[in-house]
Amino acid sequence: MALSDKEIGMRVRNIRRENGLTQDKFARKFHMTQQTLSRYENGKISIPNGTLENIAKGMDVLIGYFLGIDSMTFTDDELRLLELYRRADDRVKEYIFEMVRMSATKLKGKDS
């Protein structure tokens, strides 16, 4: 399922905000004007594929997140969790994994 320009723009905005970047800082990082970024985020104009690819690489995000790939298999929340996990350092990944494993074990015991 292809996403609309507005949906792609919203995902770019989410990534920018999650990383604590203003439109101006984000725009400079990816060699565009703040006005162009605003138009992208609002879905007023399409983001060129090359620009979207640069944003994905520069923000360490799967390009599929912006394009709606895998949305049949994963929810938006699941994709975001995976992307955040991939950005974490090894120590944080171990902590997350152990926390999920312990939670799943506790929940499984309650279901019995």
Position 68 scores a pLDDT of 77
Q: Model confidence over 83-97: pLDDT tens digits? A: 788 888 889 988 988
Predicted local confidence at residue 10, as pLDDT: 95
More confident residue, 46 or 63: 46
Residue 64 has pLDDT above 90, yes or no: no
pLDDT at 80: 80
What pLDDT, on a 0 to 100 scale, did the predictor assign at position 109?
A: 66
Annotated domain spans of the chain: 5-111
Per CATH, the homologous superfamily of domain 5-111 is: lambda repressor-like DNA-binding domains (1.10.260.40)
Encoding tokens for residue 73? Answer: 């298999």
Average pLDDT over residues 42-69: 90
Residue 29: name the closest of 59, 61, 62, 63 by CA: 59
Residues 26, 80: contact at Cβ < 8 Å? no
How many whole angstroms separate alpha carbon 24 and alpha carbon 34? 5
Averaged pLDDT of the chain: 87
